[in-house]
Structure 1
Amino acid sequence: MRRAWAGLQGLFAVYKAPGVHWMMVRDAVETRLLRDLNALQRPPPRKEVRFLPTSTEGKDGDELTMTVASVPVLADHPLVSGPAFTRLKVGAGHRLDIKSSGVFVLGLGHGNKLLHDLYNAHLSRTYTVRGLFGKATDDFSDEGKLIEKTTFDHITREKLERILSVIQGSHHKALLQYANLDLKTQEAYELAVRGLIRPMDKSPPLITAVRCLQFAPPEFQLEIHCLHETQQYLRKIVHEIGLELKSSAVCTQVRRVRDGVFTLEDALLRTQWCLPNIQKAIVKSGLRVEELHKSLAHQEEPWTDEEGDGKTDGEADGGPGQNKGGNTLWEGAAIR
């Protein structure tokens, strides 16, 4: 049992389905782990030496004498002590709102500290975002209140990709300034080659890359690499793209396919949320997280040793993902 608990120290990823709150996912993982841990065979109860009275026949009849005996400690019995584990500290990484799905990173034990480390490293995340031309809603999703319908026959893939290039270009300029790097140095060149240029502090949402994966009007699909985003911000990006194309668009799906070093291949499905699978996932991710620490050590300031519940600031709670102004979202990325 102790060995099993020792294997639950680190980070792992699960797949969050749409329509489910991230807290329900975290609680479901904790409940399953508690059930599996408490189902393991317990060590035998401790023994203690007791002097027990026994009756023997003497000259004057039965006499009580004390004999030495080794008896189990009743306080260690499961019916007395109860479950060995009643609560686990499961920390949640970058949140996903209820409409979104995809990779959701969780931490156990010292993994809660690692969640803070990864948050402070400002790593990028990747999403696939599906959109639908021809209508606009009040919350930029296909489930919102319909505001208007528009035509979209004039939209071509070339026009869409031209808008995407403008978005990526304006955000790239902002990223270089927030990264606080001298672009003429060897360090900046090496970081650019490795794709590790990123802001060293909080910033507005930044898109590092965006491309069109599928174009079949009225439907289209984008792949977006970004930092400090919220899922609602990505839905608004789809809305703004529709306006720039002299039409309208709503977002039908936001799916996170990568969070830092974790990808969809690492994310455990609902049927895989059990003790052995989570232990294996923690071991598998441990090497990559350690390598990431080494590769970022020369660029990062020392990570603070905060102790918390594994929650990161802002993100899907509406913090750094808010639009900072500008007529469009990509204009809002410029340094003010």
Structure 2
Amino acid sequence: MGSAAVARLSGLFATYKPPGLNWLHLRDTIELQLLKGLNAGKPSVPEQRVRFLLGPVEGNEEELALTATSVPTLTNHRLVCGPAFTSLKIGVGHRLDAQASGVLVLGVGHGRRLLTDMYNAHLTKDYTVRGLLGKATDDFCEDGRLVEKTAYDHVTREKLDRILAVIQGSHQKALVMYSNLDLQSQEAYEMATRGAIRPMNKSPMLITGIRCLHFAPPEFLLEVQCMHETQQQLRKLVHEIGLELKTTAVCSQVQRTRDGFFTLDDALLRAHWDLHSILDTIQATAPRVAAELDKNLRPRLSTPQLPSPDRSWDSEALSSTLGLGSCAGH
């Protein structure tokens, strides 16, 4: 069982990281659970060897003789040489800090190389970010050291939506800049229509979509689609939104709901961090992982196309396609 399972234990899988748990502790916990599963199989029947043992002759206890006896060989027994599997190499994808929760992708075996492919694909991630109006703290978190309290009665849903629209528009313009695309090219227009514009290299946090899901002052809930972010930057974003609204705000929750092509539906809860569940998940998602990585790592356009003679591919057309300056949303 153990050797057969190790051969199949290669790929990507997603877990749900609860708040308050360090990502490294999660990785070590999963490694421990996998090792328990690999070593839990029934031990193989030990080989038998012939040994000549000295003992009394039957019927005459005073006379000794050598008797051929079959005895088990214990050199490979688990209690002698220890467990068969003692360590696994497990990689962690885009990390979550201790306070954040949500989808955390891990790779084992060949999956560690697939994590690099996911990183190189510059895929977007989705978050739900909960904010609380009326106060500011030193670390932008609700439980941080209180710095200031402010009134928020003047804040409305319409004002918040306008601020979010401005944020999305400015970040989408930055996205085009970091993608190193010629705004007047057919390539840029084609990628914009497919929503495939991404930075070619590392960049600051870029927000591709942001909207308000729920507004009940002092609480509000945002859905943020972004890349190259940290959870602390998302908390700071809530703080900056509060300032734009002429008040203050702190972040009370950051939850990642999607990492690339892994969603909450794919994430294994803590009760399922075991060998059989992880094996089943790797096998079930392997075809989708291969297809998504192939699609996202494929060259931008297979064959360059020239603009149609009856249409001008200018920066205004591209901006319209991207939705720059429009209302916030996906």
Q: Would you say same fold, with TM above 0.5?
A: yes
**1:120 aligned partner, one-letter code:** N
* Residues 131-160 of structure 1: CA deviation (Å, up to 9, x unaligned): 011011100010111111111111111110
**1:252 aligned partner, one-letter code:** S
Give how far 1:188 is off.
3.2
Is 1:26 the counterpart of 2:27 in the alignment? Answer: yes
- Contact 2:51 2:71 survives alignment (8 Å): no
Deviates more, 1:138-147 or 1:283-292: 283-292
Match of 1:317 in 2: none
- Once residues 295 and 237 of structure 1 are traced to their aligned partners in structure 2, the CA distance between those partners, rounded to angstroms, is 31
* Residues 311-333 of structure 1: CA deviation (Å, up to 9, x unaligned): xxxxxxxxxxxxxxxxxxxxxxx
Q: Which runs of 5+ in 1 are unaligned?
A: 301-336
Give how far 1:212 is off.
0.5
Structure 2 residue matching 1:97: 3-state secondary structure: coil
Structure 2 residue matching 1:246: 3-state secondary structure: coil
Give how far 1:56 is off.
12
**2:150 aligned partner, one-letter code:** T
* Residues 33-52 of structure 1: CA deviation (Å, up to 9, x unaligned): 111111112333356x6675
- Once residues 193 and 40 of structure 1 are traced to their aligned partners in structure 2, the CA distance between those partners, rounded to angstroms, is 53
Give how far 1:285 is off.
2.1
- Once residues 179 and 44 of structure 2 are traced to their aligned partners in structure 1, the CA distance between those partners, rounded to angstroms, is 53
In structure 2, the CA distance between the partners of 1:62 and 1:255, relative to structure 1 (3 Å rule), is: closer
**1:45 aligned partner, one-letter code:** P
* Residues 80-113 of structure 1: CA deviation (Å, up to 9, x unaligned): 1211111111111111111100001111111111
* Residues 188-242 of structure 1: CA deviation (Å, up to 9, x unaligned): 3443333222111100111111000001111100000111100000000000000
The runs of 4+ residues in structure 1 deviating greater than 4 Å are 49-57, 61-65, 69-72
Match of 1:43 in 2: 44
The structure with the largest alpha-carbon Rg is 2
- Once residues 153 and 53 of structure 1 are traced to their aligned partners in structure 2, the CA distance between those partners, rounded to angstroms, is 93
**2:94 aligned partner, one-letter code:** H
Percent identical among aligned pairs is 59
- Once residues 46 and 179 of structure 1 are traced to their aligned partners in structure 2, the CA distance between those partners, rounded to angstroms, is 64
Match of 2:152 in 1: 152
* Residues 251-301 of structure 1: CA deviation (Å, up to 9, x unaligned): 00000000011100001111111111101111122112101222133328x
> Number of aligned pairs?
294
- Contact 1:121 1:200 survives alignment (8 Å): no
Match of 2:207 in 1: 207
- Contact 1:46 1:76 survives alignment (8 Å): no
Q: Which runs of 5+ in 2 are unaligned?
A: 58-62, 301-330
- Contact 2:127 2:257 survives alignment (8 Å): yes
- Once residues 271 and 97 of structure 1 are traced to their aligned partners in structure 2, the CA distance between those partners, rounded to angstroms, is 21
Is 1:93 the counterpart of 2:120 in the alignment? Answer: no
**1:80 aligned partner, one-letter code:** V
Match of 1:306 in 2: none
Report the TM-score when normalising by structure 2: 0.83
Deviates more, 1:110-119 or 1:219-228: 110-119
**2:167 aligned partner, one-letter code:** I
- Contact 2:121 2:293 survives alignment (8 Å): no
In structure 2, the CA distance between the partners of 1:52 and 1:142, relative to structure 1 (3 Å rule), is: same
- Once residues 182 and 107 of structure 2 are traced to their aligned partners in structure 1, the CA distance between those partners, rounded to angstroms, is 35
- Once residues 194 and 290 of structure 2 are traced to their aligned partners in structure 1, the CA distance between those partners, rounded to angstroms, is 17
* CA RMSD between the two structures: 2.2
In structure 2, the CA distance between the partners of 1:63 and 1:28, relative to structure 1 (3 Å rule), is: closer
- Once residues 65 and 41 of structure 2 are traced to their aligned partners in structure 1, the CA distance between those partners, rounded to angstroms, is 46
